[in-house]
């Protein structure tokens, strides 16, 4: 049975999509067709919430039974057999997935260790404040959130949002997640990276990764770009309606990969960034300091 043996365990909005694509460009590394299958954190995603929020980019069972699996970003693979089918045809030495829910999920490190005790883990983190701000901008960009940052922060502090929907504070609590990983996996199986270093010196980080994985560092393609920028949609209200109705998820499933970049250029205004007031940033920073 072919199983994953490389896990990119990152905080959301820490550059995991970009790093995963750089790694996937190497002939000795294969990324799962669904970048984030969330198998070892599935219990944190209430099925009713997932369905109502249209979180799954694909239906896991139907998806893995197709011979041609188009790349997708996110889905919750609850069934072990469905999860393992993502890796069934991989022949590369390193078989990877990159679920960003594992670092904040208390049970995920134990479950990964039980499943693949000899696996390698890349732990990628980012400055907590910048990570949270980036996550807020993404939520606004997709239309999943229209509320102000203070409103969302207040709801999270009061515990009024579902666990899977808490994106400002919880994913920034990386210290405990890192402790859990270190308690289970020996140092030789873990590589700790920071977003800021990766963006500033991608070649140096990839060289470090190649040495750690014992692969040829010259085989990465750093021209591959896969960043989710926090830009504003041109039609914000329509964008939110399509997101909440599930129409955007259906469109992502139906569109061929080559058509998506052109549609993004049409749909988003890349000259307008989501501006967050300084007072709101200070309030978020204060809340993060209490974690």
Does 186 fall in a domain? yes
> At 163, is the secondary structure helix, strand, or coil?
helix
CA dihedral of 128, 269, 149, 34, whole degrees rounded to 10: -50
* Residue 225 lies inside a defined structural domain of this protein: no
Cβ atoms 57, 243 nearer than 8 A = no
pLDDT in tens, 176-233: 999 999 999 999 999 999 999 999 999 999 999 999 999 999 999 999 887 655 566 6
- For residue 90, being part of any structural domain is answered with yes
Residue 224 is assigned to a structural domain of this protein: no
Per-residue model confidence as pLDDT tens for the chain (291 residues) = 689 999 999 999 999 999 999 999 999 999 999 999 999 999 999 999 999 999 999 999 999 988 778 899 999 999 999 999 999 999 999 999 999 999 999 999 999 999 999 999 999 999 999 999 999 999 998 888 889 999 999 999 999 988 989 999 999 989 999 999 999 999 999 999 999 999 999 999 999 999 999 999 999 999 988 765 556 666 566 655 666 677 766 666 666 766 666 666 665 666 667 889 999 999 999 999 986
Q: Using DSSP, state whether 52 is helix, strand or coil.
A: helix
What integer pLDDT is reported at residue 248 of this predicted model? Answer: 60
Q: Kind of pairing, strands 231-233 and 268-273?
A: antiparallel
pLDDT at 245: 73
pLDDT for the residue 266: 64
CATH of the domain at 68: 3.40.50.300
Domain span at residue 83?
6-219+231-289
DSSP states of 201-226 as a string? -HHHHHHHHHHHHTS-GGG--TT---
Query: What is the pTM for the complete model shown?
Result: 0.88
Q: How many CB atoms lie within 10 A of CB 267?
A: 16
- Domains in the chain, number: 1
**Is residue 210 in a domain?**
yes
**According to the model, what pLDDT value does residue 290 have?**
80
Is 212 within a domain? yes
Whole-angstrom distance, CA of residue 52 vs CA of residue 48: 6
pLDDT of the residue at 269: 63
CA distance 86 to 30: 11
Does residue 136 form part of some domain? yes
**Residue 226 within any structural domain of the chain:** no
Closest CA to 28 of 203, 193, 210: 210
pLDDT of 291 = 62
Contacts of 31 (CB under 8 A, 6+ apart): 20, 21, 23, 24, 96, 97, 98
């Amino acid at each position: 049975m072919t199983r994953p043996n490389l896990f990119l365990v990152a905080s959301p909005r820490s550059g995991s999509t970009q790093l995963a694509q750089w790694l996937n460009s190497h002939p000795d590394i294969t990324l799962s067709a669904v970048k984030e299958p969330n198998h070892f954190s599935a219990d944190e995603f209430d099925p009713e919430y997932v369905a109502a929020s249209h979180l799954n980019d694909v239906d896991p069972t139907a998806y893995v039974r197709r011979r041609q699996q188009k790349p997708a970003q996110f889905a919750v693979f609850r069934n072990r057999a469905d999860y393992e089918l993502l890796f069934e045809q991989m022949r590369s030495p390193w078989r990877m997935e990159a679920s960003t829910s594992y670092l904040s999920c208390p049970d995920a490190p134990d479950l990964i260790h039980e499943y693949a005790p000899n696996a390698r883990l890349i732990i990628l983190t980012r400055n907590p404040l910048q990570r949270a701000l980036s996550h807020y901008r993404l939520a606004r960009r997709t239309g999943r959130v229209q509320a102000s940052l203070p409103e969302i922060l207040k709801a999270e502090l009061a515990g009024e949002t579902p666990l899977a929907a808490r994106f400002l504070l919880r994913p920034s609590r990386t210290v405990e997640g890192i402790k859990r990983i270190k308690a289970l996996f020996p140092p030789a199986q873990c590589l700790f990276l920071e977003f800021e270093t990766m963006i500033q010196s991608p070649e140096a980080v990839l060289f470090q990764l190649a040495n750690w994985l014992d692969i040829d560092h010259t085989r990465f393609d750093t021209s591959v770009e896969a960043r989710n920028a926090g830009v504003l949609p041109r039609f914000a209200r329509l964008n939110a309606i399509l997101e909440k109705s599930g129409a955007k998820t259906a469109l992502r499933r139906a569109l061929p990969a080559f058509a998506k970049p052109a549609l993004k250029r049409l749909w988003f205004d890349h000259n307008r960034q989501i501006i967050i007031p300084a007072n709101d940033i200070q309030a978020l920073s204060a809340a993060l300091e209490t974690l």
